[in-house]
Amino acid sequence: MSLRAHLAELRVRAFLVAGGLAVGAVAGWVLYDPLLALLMRPLSLAATAQGKEIALNFASLGAPLDVRIKVSLFLAVLVTCPWWLYQGWAFVVPGLTGREKRYTVGFLAASVPLFLFGGGLAWWILPHAVDVLASFVPDGASQLVNAQDYLSFVMRLVLAFGVAFVAPAVLVALNLAGVVRHEPLARAWRWAVLLAFVFAAVMTPTPDALTMVAVAVPICVLYFASLAVTTWHDRRTDRHA
């Protein structure tokens, strides 16, 4: 496929992803109030545990509208993950054959739960992170958290964890499609472990090592699982060849 054809394919896929996000954002707009209450829950839990006033602050006149749009798009990214994951896969492997279409089903069956699991892990970490960070507020003081900054923080945390957990599924899918082999993955395992711990250290905003390890270990396990699958597939393919 020529460069112009790749760019045309990218434009089409981007348009399809945007359309899916727009549909999902409608649901997010309708469900804004319960979603915002859910996003504010870590703040209220930290305020109750520490006996301090911790609340969202809408600092500008347009902030409530901006937050509503961001919350709607945040839900859209989560609920439409099968759609945009498929579009990304279809762009990487265009012109799918019958076998590659079966790989597409397997890729989605693995990547969607992994993305949701990664996002769920981030959501599990979030109350702990908020509680630790709020503990630095001096006694007798209140903390008004900028609503836009807080929402951006939550979105980055959840989406980064989701994408990190999908990465091993992407490696397996590309291997099954014949794009990559297992040898480079096997040689790079030390870098993969290092990157997993660096990612965990950067993305977990808490100073304790236990949380970092709890995040890094599942990513490492998934990487080695993907390495095992790709090694088995390559050896099986080589024997048949």
Per-residue pLDDT tens digits for 89-126: 777 776 555 566 677 777 788 889 999 998 998 898 88
At residue 208 the predicted structure's pLDDT band, cuts being 50, 70 and 90, is low
Q: Is the pLDDT of residue 72 over 90?
A: yes
What's the mean pLDDT in 36-64?
A: 87
The count of domains in the chain is 1
Would you say the pTM of this structure is higher than 0.75? Answer: yes
* DSSP 8-class letter at 27: H
Place of tokens 């992994």: 114
Q: Are 18 and 10 in contact (CB under 8 A)?
A: no
The fraction of the chain above a pLDDT of 90, given in percent, is 21
Q: Which of 85, 75, 77 is nearest to 38 (CA)?
A: 75
Residues 171, 167: Cα–Cα separation, whole Å: 6
Give me the domain span that covers residue 41: 3-240
